[in-house]
Amino acid sequence: MLRAVLDEKLETIFDDVVRRNPAEPEFHQAVREVLDSLGPVIAKHPDFARHKIIQRICEPERQVIFRVPWQDDRGEVQINRGFRVEFNSALGPYKGGLRFHPSVNLGIVKFLGFEQIFKNALTGMPIGGGKGGADFDPKGRSDGEIMRFCQSFMTELYRHLGEYTDVPAGDIGVGTREIGYLFGQYKRITNRYESGVLTGKGTDWGGSLVRTEATGYGAVFFVAEMLKARGVGLEGRRCVVSGSGNVAIYAIEKLQQLGAIVVACSDSDGVVHDPLGIDLDLLKQIKEVDRARLSVYVERRPGAQHRPGGNIWSVPCEVAVPSATQNELSGRDAETLVANGCLAVVEGANMPCTAEAVRAFHTAGVAFGPGKAANAGGVATSALEMQQNASRDSWTFEHTEHRLAAIMESIHRTCLETAEELGMPGNYVIGANVAGFEKVARAMVALGLV
């Protein structure tokens, strides 16, 4: 793999991270991506080096790994592994989602937690960074099995949480249903109705309107800003959104509301191509109500095609929104998108584009919005949920969406201005990494050696 050359000091730090965290390639990739941007920062702030801020930021404050035993519907005992990585609390309580997916391991949780530090800083809200999850596969599990798993998971995790300590939310495989079971168990064990301990709650019991939509909507607000900065709009643009989960569905909804045409989405089995535009009501029925596979879509929608194992990035589009999982868009996929006339790529998922893909977009002049800026709408709205919980208030949809749009605009502006100041106009990766890092670093210096 071709890599950018790092400043010598940063190279030593990176080598150390690799040595001390073996067999965690996604974590190395996430660290490398941030270090690649930090050359100008260490030159500008010699005190950061003196305080060893970069070395400290790469080391989680706390990592918890635990056994999650539970019983399936046949009475058989199952054992999974749970994780919570409390990465950095310089700006506020640890904040970041829980992922339930068979691919979850410590390296994945660390990459996500590391990204979360800078993302949360960019939102301007008082939240630190963390992430967690389990190698549990919810696919095909009954409601009772999901509940028993969540209860067992929380029976260990609760002792590490608290509204001023660590506040998880959802991620892949964890939606409102799972947050409900987790919150119920937390309440039962602690005997406290501590709404602010989890976000992504149902709106009947302490959740915020717009939280469900926030990550997808936020990513679209971000790409709309990126296009505006180039003097063009979203209306009439052909878009492709990978995934068909929470982020993908609400990215599609907002794209459609803004007049774009979404022609493809996917799941881990394949791609749906619907040249007339995805039927969102049908997609929601399949994924949110029936909890079925995406392949069912074509049975109910004449004119659409399902390509098992297909590559969504070969569908021509002007705007691409990778919203499924890490490293789902390779350098070759990026070249295909560029050749098909793609104007903008915005990461709804965390690190969906490989380093090679990001380089290909930059080389071709495609506007590229990295996840730590573009998908920050979810965590920002989680922070708004915490605000509502703290004041025992609940806001209207319009007010909350307005706050979300303003936050995304502000993140976009911060990234753009920071990149400009560094002499890299239009490079949102540099802008996001440097602006996020500087904010956390200043707080770490101010709080002393802790």
- Which residue of 92, 207, 369, 378 would you call a contact of ligand NDP, by CB under 6 A? 378
Residue with smaller CB distance to ligand NDP, 350 or 400: 350
Check residue 113 for interaction with ligand NDP (CB under 6 A). no
Subset of residues 182 to 221 that bind ligand NDP, contact rule: CB under 6 A: 215
Which residues have CB under 8 Å from 197's CB, separation 6+?
Answer: 161, 162, 163, 167, 183, 186
Tell the smallest beta-carbon distance from residue 448 to ligand NDP (Å): 31
Which is catalytic among the residues 110, 131, 254, 287?
131
CA distance 450 to 56: 10
Residue with smaller CB distance to ligand NDP, 261 or 349: 349
- 351 in the Ramachandran plot: left (φ > 0), alpha (ψ -120 to 50) or beta? left
- Which residue of 324, 366, 384, 419 would you call a contact of ligand NDP, by CB under 6 A? 324
Q: Is 95 known to be catalytic? A: no
CA distance 100 to 68: 12
Residue with smaller CB distance to ligand NDP, 185 or 375: 375
Check residue 267 for interaction with ligand NDP (CB under 6 A). yes
* In contact, 307 and 242? CB cutoff 8 Å: no
In Å, the largest CA–CA distance within the chain is: 64
Tell me, by CB under 6 A, how many residues bind ligand NDP.
22
Tell the smallest beta-carbon distance from residue 28 to ligand NDP (Å): 18
Subset of residues 10 to 39 that bind ligand NDP, contact rule: CB under 6 A: none
Check residue 246 for interaction with ligand NDP (CB under 6 A). yes
Tell the smallest beta-carbon distance from residue 191 to ligand NDP (Å): 29
CA distance 21 to 3: 20
Element (H, E) at 84: strand 77-88
Give me 126's structure tokens: 């008082």
Tell the smallest beta-carbon distance from residue 95 to ligand NDP (Å): 11
Check residue 179 for interaction with ligand NDP (CB under 6 A). no
Tell the smallest beta-carbon distance from residue 53 to ligand NDP (Å): 25
Tell the smallest beta-carbon distance from residue 47 to ligand NDP (Å): 32
Which residues have CB under 8 Å from 210's CB, separation 6+?
Answer: 217, 381, 384, 397, 400, 401, 404
Which residues have CB under 8 Å from 281's CB, separation 6+?
Answer: none
Give me 145's structure tokens: 């099995």
Check residue 172 for interaction with ligand NDP (CB under 6 A). yes
Residue with smaller CB distance to ligand NDP, 36 or 213: 213
Of 66-74, 151-159, 226-234, 240-248, which part binds ligand NDP (CB under 6 A)?
240-248
Task: Select the residue whose beta carbon is closest to ligand NDP and give its number.
Answer: 245
- Which residue of 171, 178, 194, 274 would you call a contact of ligand NDP, by CB under 6 A? 171
- 162 in the Ramachandran plot: left (φ > 0), alpha (ψ -120 to 50) or beta? left
Subset of residues 346 to 375 that bind ligand NDP, contact rule: CB under 6 A: 348-350, 375
Residue with smaller CB distance to ligand NDP, 39 or 128: 128
* In contact, 136 and 100? CB cutoff 8 Å: yes
Check residue 155 for interaction with ligand NDP (CB under 6 A). no
Of 153-161, 251-259, 319-327, 413-421, which part binds ligand NDP (CB under 6 A)?
319-327
Strands (E), 356-396: 367-369
* In contact, 145 and 68? CB cutoff 8 Å: no
Of 86-94, 323-331, 403-411, 421-429, which part binds ligand NDP (CB under 6 A)?
323-331
Tell the smallest beta-carbon distance from residue 96 to ligand NDP (Å): 9
* In contact, 412 and 219? CB cutoff 8 Å: no
Which residues have CB under 8 Å from 431's CB, separation 6+?
Answer: 373, 414, 415, 416, 417, 418, 419, 420, 422, 424
Tell the smallest beta-carbon distance from residue 268 to ligand NDP (Å): 3
Of 24-32, 36-44, 49-57, 344-352, which part binds ligand NDP (CB under 6 A)?
344-352
Of 18-26, 274-282, 309-317, 320-328, which part binds ligand NDP (CB under 6 A)?
320-328
CA distance 175 to 161: 19
- Please tell me whether residue 13 adopts helix, strand or coil conformation: helix
Residue with smaller CB distance to ligand NDP, 6 or 298: 298
Tell the smallest beta-carbon distance from residue 248 to ligand NDP (Å): 6
Check residue 173 for interaction with ligand NDP (CB under 6 A). yes
CA distance 205 to 69: 28
DSSP letters spanning 295-321: GGGGGSSTT-EEEET--GGGS--SEEE
Give me 388's structure tokens: 């509502």
Contacts with ligand NDP by CB under 6 A lie at 170-173, 215, 243-248, 267-269, 323-325, 348-350, 375, 378
Residues noted as catalytic: 131
